[in-house]
Chain A
Amino acid sequence: MISTRQILSKSKRLSNVLQKQQVVRGISTSCIFSNNSNNSNSNSNINSNNKSITRLSNSINIKSNFEKVIFRNYSSAIKFNLADVGEGIAECEVLVWYVKEGDQIKEFDKLCEVQSDKATVEITSRYDGIVTKICHKIGDMAKVGEPLVEITPESSIAEIKLNAGPASQVTVTPPSVSVSSSSSVSSSVSSSVASSLDHEYDITKKNGQKYKVMATPAVRNLGKLKSVDLKQIQGTGKDGRILKEDILNSLNAEAKSKTQSIPIAKEVITTTTTTTTTTTSAAAKETRVPITGIRKIMVRSMNAACSVPHFGFTEEYIMDSLSDLRNKVKPLAAEKGIKLSYLPFIIKAASLSLLRYPVLNSSISQDQTEIIYKNYHNIGIAMDSPQGLLVPNIKNVESKSIFEIAKELNRLQELSGKGLLTPNDMSGGTFTLSNIGTIGGLHSSPVLLLPEVCIGAIGKIQSLPRFNKHHAVITQSIMNISWSGDHRVIDGATMARFSNALKDYLENPSTMIMDTR
């Protein structure tokens, strides 16, 4: 039996050979060892890899079958993304690599060091395995949430060993879903965070008591491959964690008991088969996707916001006059290359209203003894982007014209769509508007973006029947804004007065000109 160590040793020698031979028939070493399928397990990708590998094999006379097997199964490499290192920082400079391609690495070994704003941060591995691709060189800016390195976990290599044989019969281990370490500074900032998030606690019941099943992703992967129920394994690691050895020992023990009690085997197998079927059926009904990147930040933000008492307030705003004004100036804006929606007007009107009710543009000090009034209006606009909900802000709205606000809004929307918003765009917000009405909806209950104390969700504009002062029915364009305020510092009267001021500006837009400084 060929050991995993022998396979790894041979693959490392092979890697060295390939690197010395440089590119062969246009296929580079990194191409072979990288996950060309982007973690896809499609047959076409596997076949494509197989062809590339075959050409390379022919070129450098690889004779051993198990070496061919190794090549094929590197399609199971995991892309290890750069973790979120805090406060929405979008990228980090790579300072130093502690590993190189082909190195064997253990869980918690140092991978590299990156620089984020004021801190250098050490990134450690979450897996045992082989480093198959370094995605950034020293000095590169690595984006948060994008691959930093690719690692083939040891469980995948173990599968290779067990399935070594004629190439056409090899079972390819399904690659794991691309794992993001954005839960923390990829387990390098705090070991307890690494523990809580890497080891994927399952709360399960045993003898009526709930307990946590603790195991790293690599160990869980091995458990799935071997159809081992981790709940049945006694972990020997720290705090009862299940280690790879525990699974292998369990399998060995099971194999021994099978050879020792053959007459009972048939009955046992029947039962096992039934159980397996059930598990497979149950497993097919759900798909687990790790919460990563922006979504992970959202989970944290929303959890924090839950501790703040929100109160809601909704008002109708008649948009006919603003609609007329917008239609008149839209061509002017277009000449300047600016796409003019209603939002720049609403943003400016909100800022003018905040000048009169500055408490809605404040935050509470950490010890909750002071209200911190901001002398600037950095108004955040919630945007739906490919990465999820983002809230960049327009800086200093109080000193910008509506055209300038519109231009900046266009810029942020464009960058958001491309995933290119900068940390500066994302930080320093003091007040937020969410224009959810462009997608749909009339009323909502927006959640505060802490430490801000007020947020407004703008509903869609509808043409509705209303009474005029002569009690005749007329058609009016009506827009609702649903406000949420931090009830610790915002009372209903202040919110209502702020809304009235905003209503005046939006319904009589000429007054905005009179109050603009």
Chain B
Amino acid sequence: MIRLLRLNRFPILKQLQIEEALYRTPNSGNWIIINNGTPEPIVIVGATGKADKLVNLDEVESRGIQTMKRFSGGGTVVADENTLFTSILFEFETLKQLFPTMSSTTTTTTTETTTTSINVGNIYPKDIMNWSANSFYKHVFQEQLDFRLQENDYAFGKQKFGGNAQSFSKHKFLHHTSFLYDFKDDHMMACLKQPDKIPEYRQNRDHLSFLCKLKDRYQSKDHIINNLLKTINNLPTSPSIKEVTLEEAEQFLLNPHPKSNQLFDYNLKNWKDIINEYNPIKN
């Protein structure tokens, strides 16, 4: 069974806390989460992100924008109400049942893929990245003939429209994506620095030359969400899909688990643990 949680303008910070609880709680099941935007702009940095290297902190602070560090790996994004978030949290056993002939990548000197049918147990982060593009999102964006996985990004041709982050544990993986339906050009340019580590296909382009907007190809976010729902309902072997409420997902926050999402404190110039109703930390 796959639990489907649909959210609308739900704060991404809280969503990531729920996702971390689901990820770190054993036997939490399989989940797909779709969130149509986050109400306020926020800069989201990956697990090892160095805020001062990735973000123009003074600029972000002056614009009243929060900066957070999520628990999963990956890059940096400025998210807002026009960002579409999708998260896939699957147990490997489930993936094996849905895609029994799923292939693994060779792991030598190239980022391209080739197929070798082997035991699906040998799964690496790159394999999940390929699977997500070729077996899932390819169907979501099937009208776009130039949709592809460019290194670790979803792109149309060589322009990125979706960034990914992943977490792997013994029995399950989390693969979540920020899709840029639209974004404020000056937020991207002003808030984010050019990272030291960039994908090769970016070829040193600045943010605006490198990124593209889904709104240029789709009239509404609902169209994409409908495509997502169709793809979920058409998964191989037709697993049961159960739409659940936010409250059901929030129950997992009660399980004790390590909490790694953090907020940047502009005064202390450091990351601090999040203190709110989702993550009470006693001082």
Contacts and interface: CB of A to CB of B under 8 A. Distances in A.
Interface of A: 84-88, 93, 95-96, 98, 108, 110, 115-122, 124, 184-185, 187-196, 297, 300-301, 303-304, 307, 363-364, 366, 372, 380, 391-393, 426-429, 449-452
For chain B, what secondary structure do more than half of its interface residues adopt (helix, strand, loop), or is it mixed? loop
B170 A451 contact: no
Nearest to A363: B112
A427 B111 contact: yes
A189 B124 contact: yes
Interface stretch (B57-65, B69-77, B223-231): B69-77
Contact of A188 (B108, B127, B166, B169): B169
Nearest to B111: A427
A93 B115 CA distance: 29
Contacts, number: 159
Contact of B72 (A120, A300, A301, A364): A120
10 contacts: A116-B73, A119-B72, A122-B170, A185-B124, A297-B107, A304-B116, A364-B114, A392-B109, A449-B110, A450-B110
Given A95-B47, A184-B121, A193-B122, 18 more contacts: A87-B105, A88-B109, A115-B48, A119-B72, A119-B167, A185-B168, A187-B170, A188-B169, A190-B92, A191-B92, A191-B121, A194-B170, A195-B121, A196-B121, A427-B110, A428-B110, A428-B111, A452-B110
Contact of A451 (B113, B120, B127): B113
Contacts of A108: 170
B116 A307 contact: yes
A449 B109 CA distance: 8
B168 A189 contact: yes
Nearest to A392: B109
B235 to A, nearest CB: 19
Interface residues of B, number: 47
Contacts of B107: 84, 86-88, 297, 300-301
B106 A304 contact: yes
Interface of B: 46-48, 71-75, 92, 96, 105-116, 119-127, 129-130, 134, 152, 164-171, 173, 200, 258, 260
A449 B124 CA distance: 19
B108 A88 contact: yes
A111 to B, nearest CB: 11
Contacts of A87: 105, 107-108, 111, 124, 126
B115 A366 contact: yes
Query: Which 5 A-B residue pairings sit nearest by Cβ, starting from the closest?
Result: A192-B121, A86-B124, A119-B125, A119-B166, A122-B169
A120 B110 contact: no
Contacts of B126: 86-87
Contacts of A366: 113-115, 130, 134
A429 B123 CA distance: 22
